[in-house]
Amino acid sequence: MADTKELRQELIAMDENEDKAWWRPESSHGYGHLLPAGRSQWYLCAALCVTLTLSLSLLILMPSRFGSVDRTLSDLERSVSNLTESVSLHLSKLHEKVGSLEMKLSDLKRSVSNLTESVSFHSSKLPKKGEVGCPDGWYLHNSSCYFFSAYKASWYTARDSCRDMDATLLILTDEEEWGFVNRISNGRYFWLGLSDERTGEWEWVNGSPYIMDRSKWVPGQPDNWAGHSIGGTEDCAHISISGKLNDNHCTVTYPFICKATTNKAEHF
Does residue 4 have a pLDDT over 80? no
Name, in order, each residue with C-beta under 8 angstroms of 267's C-beta and a sequence gap of 6 or more.
166
Which of 53-57, 155-159, 168-172 has the weakest average pLDDT? 53-57
**pLDDT single digits (tens) 134-149:** 889 999 999 899 999 9
**pLDDT single digits (tens) 184-233:** 999 999 999 999 999 999 999 999 999 999 999 999 999 888 888 888 89
**pLDDT single digits (tens) 74-106:** 888 888 888 888 888 888 888 888 888 888 888
% of the chain beyond a pLDDT of 90 = 42
What mean pLDDT, rounded, does the chain reach? 81
Residue 239, judged by CB atoms within 10 A of its CB (0-12, 13-18, 19+), counts as buried
Q: Partners of 96 in the beta sheet?
A: none
Tally the residues of the chain: 268
Residue of 117, 241, 129 lying closest to 187 (CA atoms)? 241
**pLDDT single digits (tens) 223-254:** 888 888 888 899 999 999 999 999 999 999 99
Q: Sheet of 257-261: strands edge to edge?
A: 138-141, 144-148, 257-261, 168-169
Torsion of CA 247, 250, 252, 257, to 10 degrees: 80
Alpha-carbon distance 142 to 127, whole Å? 9
**pLDDT single digits (tens) 10-67:** 656 655 555 555 445 554 444 444 445 566 677 777 778 878 887 777 767 666 666 6
Q: Are 141 and 147 in contact (CB under 8 A)?
A: no
Torsion of CA 263, 239, 234, 168, to 10 degrees: 0
pTM as predicted: 0.51
Query: What is the reported pLDDT for 232?
Result: 87
